Amino acid sequence: DAGVTQSPTHLIKTRGQQVTLRCSPKSGHDTVSWYQQALGQGPQFIFQYYEEEERQRGNFPDRFSGHQFPNYSSELNVNALLLGDSALYLCASSSGTGYTEAFFGQGTRLTVV
Amino acid sequence: AQTVTQSQPEMSVQEAETVTLSCTYDTSESDYYLFWYKQPPSRQMILVIRQEAYKQQNATENRFSVNFQKAAKSFSLKISDSQLGDAAMYFCAYRSGYTGNQFYFGTGTSLTVIP
């Protein structure tokens, strides 16, 4: 059983560019959450997708957007990249609305230069 | 918003010894869940242990156990018989049982295991 998979594993972008990160949830999971983990910090919640809709959003600007596909996979898009967007982006998958556990992927390391 | 505080940026333990990692949290809710996640250099967050706030009994998972003090809003992790593979970043996390589904994470504790 494949767990949560994220792609790419590493990415280097230039300020002002746009980036798309991808996540495939664990088999049987229908909910995907995205987190940003800056160096030396704990993960910060960006948003969550369920039934192809954004259900909840953290304190992140509109430059951060997402999408969920019918197969439950998800994308995170970041526009107009800033140096401060450099971080590890983690995807977490879970099942339904009453879950008590989430499974995380290995993350995408984004570096903005 | 809920906050989670880990006051120990770094800890070390001798192999086979016991170590305790501290975590405090702030909430006005009565229904919530607490977690300890391990993040090794591979970067993947791995669930170590989970505690439901309504349960008085402390959770245990093999060598890992917690000391959950609800009134004090404290949630410490005890690792017994430490192994080299336990070396990692450990994050304490909170999730509300009412609203939202996001995790609130602390800033982490880096655990070194000395052979």
Q: Is the pLDDT of residue A113 over 70?
A: yes
Distance from CA of A72 to the nearest CA of B (A): 17
Is residue B82 within 8 A of residue B70, CB to CB? The reply is: no
Angle at A3 between CA B47 and CA A63, to 5 degrees: 85
Q: How far, in Å, CA of B67 to CA of B58, rounded?
A: 6
**pLDDT tens for residues B41-92?**
888 899 999 999 999 899 999 999 999 999 999 999 999 999 999 999 999 9
Q: Does A99 touch chain B (CB under 8 A)?
A: yes
Provide the pLDDT confidence category of residue A1 given band limits of 50, 70 and 90: low
Q: Going by DSSP bridges, is the β-strand pair B3-5/B24-26 parallel, antiparallel, or unpaired? A: antiparallel
Burial of B102 (0-12, 13-18, 19+ CB in 10 A): buried
- In percent, the amount of chain A with pLDDT more than 90 equals 86
Helices (H), A2-109: none
Structure tokens of A61? Answer: 């600007």
Q: Going by DSSP bridges, is the β-strand pair B24-26/B32-39 parallel, antiparallel, or unpaired? A: unpaired
**Residue A58 neighbours by CB under 8 Å, 6+ apart:** A44, A45, A46, A47, B102
* Cβ–Cβ gap B102/A48 under 8 Å: yes
What SS3 state is found at B56? coil
Is residue A79 within 8 A of residue A65, CB to CB? The reply is: yes
Q: Is the pLDDT of residue A97 over 70?
A: no
**Nearest alpha carbon to residue A86 among A62, A113, A59:** A113
Residues in B lying within 8 Å of A, measured between beta carbons: 4, 33, 35, 37, 42-47, 50, 52, 91, 93, 95, 100-108
* pLDDT the model gives residue B3: 92
Q: Is the pLDDT of residue B98 over 90?
A: no
Mean of pLDDT values over A66-76: 97
Q: Is the pLDDT of residue B100 over 80?
A: no
**pLDDT tens for residues B4-27?**
999 999 999 999 999 999 999 999
